[in-house]
Amino acid sequence: MTKPERIPGVAVLGAGQWGPNLIRNFHTHETSRVAWVIDRDPSRLELTRQRYPDVRVASDPALAFEDPEVDAAVIATPTVTHYELAARALRAGKHVLVEKPIATSVSEAEDLCALAEGQGLVLMVGHVFLFNRAIQRVREYLVEGAIGKVFYLSMIRTNLGPIRMDVNAAWDLAAHDIAIANYWLDSRPETAAAQGGSWINAGIEDAVFATLSYPNGVMANLHVSWLNPRKVRDITVVGEKGMLTFDDMNLSEPLRLYDKGVTDQRTPGFIDTFASFRTSIREGEIRIPRIGASEPLKAECEHFLHCIATGARPLSNGWSGAAAVRVLAAMTRSLANGGHREAV
Ligand SMILES: NC(=O)c1ccc[n+]([C@@H]2O[C@H](COP(=O)([O-])OP(=O)(O)OC[C@H]3O[C@@H](n4cnc5c(N)ncnc54)[C@H](O)[C@@H]3O)[C@@H](O)[C@H]2O)c1
């Protein structure tokens, strides 16, 4: 398909494991073109050159930031570099889509938000799960009250690798779960407590177990690890009227809604026989909603282009990225304080 004349030019910074997915999406989309791919590693640039001969490649980000044909920078470099590169791109007048987590401190994250607002530019964070249709459907269910008042969330995100050196498993993996929980509950946690272990590299937690307390007594428990034999992306939401599960590994049927709960809340007294215990448990239907197949990253990239074109505020805007970083920073303090409950 021939592309129209003036479509946004995108520079993708970072062509490691994840960057090529972003390059592919912006390259194939009819309303964007990839003008530059920037990476420090010549071998990554060579691979990009072979796959996309029409795209310019370089190791110096300045070339992309100075190019007037570049409208937006898409940053998929290691987390510790996000702030510096995003700030430089915004100062150069480019819209920014930066991978999660947006930065490594709250002040850096808020600084990026202020920079973007001051320049009237789009700042979006790659919280890709917010563009997953099943995740969006759950939010609709929660807003409708399909499972009643939410009691707690249990979130598990494990795999063997990829092992990072610049951030721990919480900053790498829990960033997703925090973004999902904040989006679903339309809220922010008040406290965070976390414990973890560093077995591979000293001082970099490979597994983190955290509990977040949201307003109204809602709890979220997170288990993230890159040192685990199984790839699990599993969430359970327990509510007053029902329960639901999200399994990102089940591509065709990621959601299940359970009409299950405890109906008989007798007070005072206690359940003294197995029979009376059984009568208090409601074991209703299990519903599997139909969720059409889609690529969340494609939807995320399209949303970024839409926001550039219309000036709309992104679903995963800089402030939501900063909110996730605020939780991660509290978890980091808690890890250093033996699991102490920290204010977010
Ligand atoms: N949204 C998601 O689901 C998702 C999935 C994977 C990774 N990520 C994020 O994407 C980012 C990259 O992850 P990855 O797995 O691709 O890492 P990676 O280490 O495989 O790739 C990073 C690339 O950036 C390059 N690089 C490093 N510093 C640079 C600099 N200053 N300028 C230019 N290039 C530089 C490296 O040479 C490397 O090729 C991370 O922030 C990660 O959290 C997001």
Helix (H, G, I), strand (E, B) or coil at 52: coil
User: From CA 238, how far away is CA 60, in angstroms rounded?
Assistant: 49
Type of residue at 213? S
Q: Which atom of ligand 1 is nearest to the CA of 82?
A: 41
Q: Which atom of ligand 1 is nearest to the CA of 18?
A: 16
Range in 7-21, 127-141, 262-276, 290-304 the model is least confident about: 262-276
Q: What is the pLDDT of residue 293?
A: 86
Residue to mutate (ligand 1; options 18, 40, 164; most atoms within 8 A of CB) = 18
Of 325, 157, 301, nearest in space to 234 by CA: 157
Contact between 320 and 168 (Cβ < 8 Å): no
Is the CB of residue 172 below 6 angstroms from any atom belonging to ligand 1? yes
Is the CB of residue 78 below 6 angstroms from any atom belonging to ligand 1? yes
User: From CA 262, how far away is CA 315, in angstroms rounded?
Assistant: 35
Is the CB of residue 76 below 6 angstroms from any atom belonging to ligand 1? yes
pTM of the entire predicted model? 0.95
Question: Which amino acid residue places its CA nearest to atom 27 of ligand 1?
Answer: 77
Q: Using omega within 30 degrees of 0 as the cis cutoff, is the peptide bond preceding 101 cis?
A: yes
Task: Answer yes or no: is pLDDT of 268 > 80.
Answer: no
pLDDT in tens, 40-91: 999 999 999 999 999 999 999 999 999 999 999 999 999 999 999 999 999 9
User: From CA 117, how far away is CA 279, in angstroms rounded?
Assistant: 57
Which residues are 233's β-sheet partners? 157
